[in-house]
Amino acid sequence: MAKTTFMHFGLTVSDLDRTADFYTKYFGFKKNMAHRFPKEFISDSDALYRQPEGVYSDMAMLESEDGVVLEVFQFSNVEKAGPAEWQKTGYHHLAFKVESIPELYERMKADGIEFFFPPKKRMPTEPGHWIFFKDPDGNMIELWD
């Protein structure tokens, strides 16, 4: 069996800068690389990207202090996705552990972040909380403290 090391999550967004600002402001991610994939690159990999002629993509690597990396794409023809549905196959949320959910919740709530519910105890006998909310494009994020 080959040794496997996690590299990154890929995420398509409608506004790369807004997304980078969001993950930086609330979770301390840093943009450590930015690049434009020109239309020639996208069309040369048509079997992968399956985009119409002339589409390009900006991308950035956002990295957390402990090495979690989000590879963020903004295609020139970006389309809004529907809400994630738990019963359908595919990825439906990212999860992070933070120091204090109640404190972060109050900050994010004041900034207009949309939550599915306020902080809850993970288990009645445990001290930690959990919460679900949406990033700027509606992608679900789960937090634990």
Q: Are 144 and 130 in contact (CB under 8 A)?
A: yes
Q: Are 129 and 121 in contact (CB under 8 A)?
A: yes
Given this model, what pLDDT does residue 122 score? Answer: 83
**pTM, rounded to two decimals:** 0.88
Q: pLDDT digits over 91-143, tens only?
A: 889 999 999 999 999 999 999 999 999 999 988 788 899 999 999 999 999 99
Given this model, what pLDDT does residue 76 score? Answer: 95
* Cα–Cα distance for residue pair 77/97, rounded to 1 Å: 33
Q: pLDDT digits over 22-78, tens only?
A: 999 999 999 999 999 999 999 888 888 899 899 999 999 999 999 999 999 999 999
CATH numbers and ranges of domains, the chain: 7-77 (3.10.180.10), 93-145 (3.10.180.10)
DSSP 58-118: EEEEEE-TTS-EEEEEEETT--PPPPP-TTSSS--EEEEE-S-HHHHHHHHHHTT--BSSS
Say which residues have a Cβ less than 8 Å from residue 134's Cβ, sequence separation at least 6: 113, 114, 140, 141
* Three-state secondary structure call for residue 46: helix
Q: Centre a 10 Å sphere on the Cβ of residue 57 and count the other Cβ atoms it contains.
A: 21
* Cα–Cα distance for residue pair 70/114, rounded to 1 Å: 21
Q: Are 42 and 57 in contact (CB under 8 A)?
A: yes
